[in-house]
A = this chain, B = another copy of it.
Amino acid sequence: MTELDSDADAALVASWRDLLARHAAASCLLDRELGEKHGLGMSEFEVLERLVEERNADNSHVLRVQELADTVHLSQSALSRLIGRLEKAGLVTRAMCPDDRRGILVALTEEGCRRYAEARPLQREVLALTLGGPLEGGCPAQG
């Protein structure tokens, strides 16, 4: 291994550890805060946000499960269950896709829109806190 190789290696590892630290801090705090104050997990919030961004002409917010899967970093099964939780909470509804009856359309409800709007400021606050500064020790440490 040449000098340059080990330098590149060290830089890579350093950026990887920085990534890990920031992700841990942000996702842990997000899960805790959103869960406590809005009954949402980090990924639940992300899914709601994708739906909110998908504003159709008639002001409905509808996405196919597969389209959601492209933007949320979850396995297909995890996403399926997450949508199940959101549905049970009344934040989205599931409907069959008329074009392709295998597909499922996920639609944001009024309540879902409201909960997202309520949670959003807190989420942004946590992001600013954990991604803004030059990292400051993370969450999982119940001590």
| Given A23-B19, A26-B16, CB of A9 within 8 Å of CB of B75 | no
Nearest-neighbour CB distance to chain B for A47, whole angstroms, equals: 13
**Assembled-state Cα–Cα distance A30/B87 (Å):** 33
Nearest-neighbour CB distance to chain B for A27, whole angstroms, equals: 8
Number of copies: 2
User: Cβ of A21 and Cβ of B73 under 8 Å apart?
Assistant: yes
Q: Is the interface of A mostly helix, strand, loop or mixed?
A: helix
| Residue A97 at the chain B interface, CB threshold 8 Å | no
| Residue A61 at the chain B interface, CB threshold 8 Å | no
B residues less than 8 Å from A16 (CB atoms): 26, 127, 131
Closest Cβ neighbor of A42 among chain B residues:
B20
CB under 8 Å from chain B, chain A span 1-40: 9, 12-13, 15-16, 19-26
Interface residues on A, range: 20 to 34
User: Cβ of A75 and Cβ of B140 under 8 Å apart?
Assistant: yes
Q: Mark A32-68, 1 if CB is under 8 A from B, else 0.
A: 0000000000000010000000000000000000000
**Assembled-state Cα–Cα distance A16/B25 (Å):** 12
